[in-house]
């Protein structure tokens, strides 16, 4: 189970997300990853096509964007998805699952392949050299708003609430350019390469552009 960094679920925290670089080439309109059958409904897809990854014990989490182009200064909202692909009812915790995923499981890259740490990650990194276990200590902080969102078997959910959204522009400076967001595998902030380049193996990613007003 990934180690949670700071999970204060009263705040909307944008996890380390992958933003892909800045060129004049427009991003692709939608991710190419297949949509799980549980998630492939018109109502859910109003928030975009998701990228889903296994999380734990039949629970998969994912991300989507409702559109691919935003004006500079416009809020950019990333939607979270939770799928119970098991045969029995389950659920997602607002802190241990959704909050942890927000805080530690996404990366943003520039088109040139440079990963952009969010403000939260940058502040932790400053303390890594003197306190290598700072991420673990931060993860032990009490979650102020934790409850289980129940999900029936073979059911997928998303929404507009704070539990299922991340405001990217609250945690990143995104000048005009093209970007991509992808799930991350390395969770520990102090161990993660701060200059991580675009993964060699092709992985599903959400792409979007920021344009001048």
Span 6-24, pLDDT tens digits = 333 333 333 333 333 333 3
Q: Please classify residue 111 by burial: count the beta carbons closer than 10 Å to its beta carbon, then call 0-12 exposed, 13-18 middle and 19+ buried.
A: buried
Please give the Cα distance from 191 to 101 (Å, whole number).
17
b/e per residue, 34-52, with b = 16+ CB within 10 A?
ebbebbeeeebeebbbbbb
Q: Is the Cβ–Cβ distance between 92 and 151 less than 8 Å? A: yes
- Residue 9's pLDDT is what? 37
Structure tokens at 130: 């003197």
- Residue 202's pLDDT is what? 53
In this prediction, the residues of the chain whose per-residue pLDDT falls under 70 are 1-32, 122, 132-143, 185-189, 191-203
- Residue 191's pLDDT is what? 65
Q: Is the Cβ–Cβ distance between 75 and 167 less than 8 Å? A: yes
- Residue 81's pLDDT is what? 98
Helix (H, G, I), strand (E, B) or coil at 38: helix
With 0.85 as the threshold, say if the pTM is over it. no
- Residue 52's pLDDT is what? 93
Q: Is the Cβ–Cβ distance between 211 and 71 less than 8 Å? A: yes
- Residue 79's pLDDT is what? 98
Helix (H, G, I), strand (E, B) or coil at 146: coil
CB under 8 Å, gap of 24 or more: what pairs does 157-162 form? 157/44, 157/81, 157/82, 157/83, 158/44, 158/47, 158/50, 158/64, 158/79, 158/80, 158/81, 158/82, 159/79, 160/79, 162/12
CA atoms within 13 A on the CB side of 201: 3
């Amino acid at each position: 189970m990934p180690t949670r960094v700071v999970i204060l679920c009263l705040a909307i925290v944008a996890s380390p997300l992958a933003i892909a670089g800045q060129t004049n080439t427009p991003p692709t309109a939608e991710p190419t990853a297949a949509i799980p059958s549980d998630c492939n409904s018109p109502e859910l897809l109003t928030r975009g096509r998701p990228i889903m990854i296994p999380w734990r014990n039949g629970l998969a989490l994912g991300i989507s964007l409702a559109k691919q182009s935003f004006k500079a200064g416009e809020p950019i909202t990333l939607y979270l998805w939770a799928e119970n692909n098991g045969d029995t009812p389950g659920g997602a915790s607002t802190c241990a699952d959704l909050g942890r995923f927000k805080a530690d499981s996404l990366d943003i890259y520039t088109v040139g392949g440079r990963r952009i740490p969010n403000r939260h990650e940058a502040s932790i990194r400053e303390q890594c050299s003197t306190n290598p276990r700072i991420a673990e200590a931060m993860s032990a902080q009490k979650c102020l708003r934790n409850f289980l969102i129940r999900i029936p078997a073979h059911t997928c959910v998303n929404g507009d609430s704070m539990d299922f959204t991340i405001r990217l522009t609250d945690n990143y400076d995104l000048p005009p350019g093209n970007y991509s967001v992808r799930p991350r595998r390395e969770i520990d902030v102090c161990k993660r390469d701060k200059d991580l380049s675009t993964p060699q193996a092709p992985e599903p990613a959400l792409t979007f552009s920021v344009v001048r007003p």
